[in-house]
Amino acid sequence: MAQYDVFARFYDAVNGEPEDRISQILDYIALFRPDAHSVLELGCGTGAILAGLGSGFSLTGMDVSEAMLTHARRRSPGARLIHGDITSFSLDTKFDVVISVYDTINHVITFDGWKKVFANVAAHLHEGGLFIFDLNPVGRLRDLGDMAPWVYDFDGHTLIMDVDFTDEPLARWNIRIFEKQRDATYRQHRETILELAVALDQVRDALAPNFLILAESDTQGSRPTDGSARALFVAQRVGA
């Protein structure tokens, strides 16, 4: 099974609607590529971001989890949705914008894999096109590893999640969902999600051959560091 196949049908209820992230993406597109008409999302999940981008774009989404894509087909019926690996895809078109959010890149658990993703994005962007992506920095995963398990009740169910970062730089998100049944018993679902932590300077160096970084931001709008809670990059495809 692919990562998120178990968690897929609970994902939106746990995470809520991504209005702020959609707004941020649209603002960056308006600022740096206002003439954009085509968008590819890598790690599109349940299609929440694609659905929120509106009808002004030709939309394509890719995810390795077929279970996630099942939900995406309902949420974003106008998008072209592809079951694929973001480290090794080859499509028949280029795009004005490629996005990859909710720390999708961290789910590629080798840095060589990250470099392949960056190369694939470059190959699928028009010159001058934008690559907008975010990630969990090293410090964020360390902080999560030090925290007590997170308990969240939703729709009558309960999620318990903790992050094990003892095998740094590999983080293991241990997820348990106790799904309430009609007879008031609970059915347990378990999944482990892997993420790789990479220093931001390594990320910047890996982008350099094909991209010019136009903007970087942490959750407060400042330049992110390895200790930030989140890092977002807006990079422009340069060169042939």
| Predicted TM-score (pTM) of this structure | 0.97
Could you tell me which residues are beta bridge partners of residue 134? Answer: 232
Digit-coded pLDDT (tens) for 107-160: 999 999 999 999 999 999 999 999 999 999 999 999 999 999 999 999 999 999
Work out the average pLDDT over 95-100. 98
Percent of the chain with pLDDT strictly greater than 70 = 100
The residue ranking higher by pLDDT, 239 or 61, is: 61
Q: Judging by DSSP bridges, how do beta strands 150-154 and 125-135 pair with one another? A: unpaired
3-state class (DSSP) for residue 78: coil
Amino acid letter, 9:
R
Instruction: pLDDT band for 46, please (50, 70, 90 cuts).
Output: very high
Angle at Cα 51 formed by Cα 46 and Cα 52, nearest 5°? 120
What separation, in Å, do the N-terminal and C-terminal C-alpha atoms of the chain show? 38
pLDDT surpasses 70 at 240: no
Residue 74, Cα to own-chain centre: how many angstroms? 19
pLDDT band for 166, please (50, 70, 90 cuts). very high
Banded pLDDT at 55 (limits 50, 70, 90): confident
Distance CA 130, CA 124 (A): 11
pLDDT at residue 1 is higher than 80: no
pLDDT of 20 above 70: yes
DSSP reduced 3-state for 34: coil
Average pLDDT over all residues of the chain: 97
All structural domains of the chain: 8-136+198-237 (3.40.50.150), 139-196 (2.20.25.110)
Query: With 80 as the cut, is the pLDDT of residue 64 above it?
Result: yes
pLDDT recorded at residue 54: 87
Bridge pairing between strands 95-100 and 211-217: unpaired
Block residue for tokens 């699928």 = 124
User: What angle in degrees, to the nearest 10, is found between the helix axes of 111-123 and 200-207?
Assistant: 40
pLDDT band of 239, cuts 50, 70, 90: confident
Tens of pLDDT, residues 192-217: 999 999 999 999 999 999 999 999 99
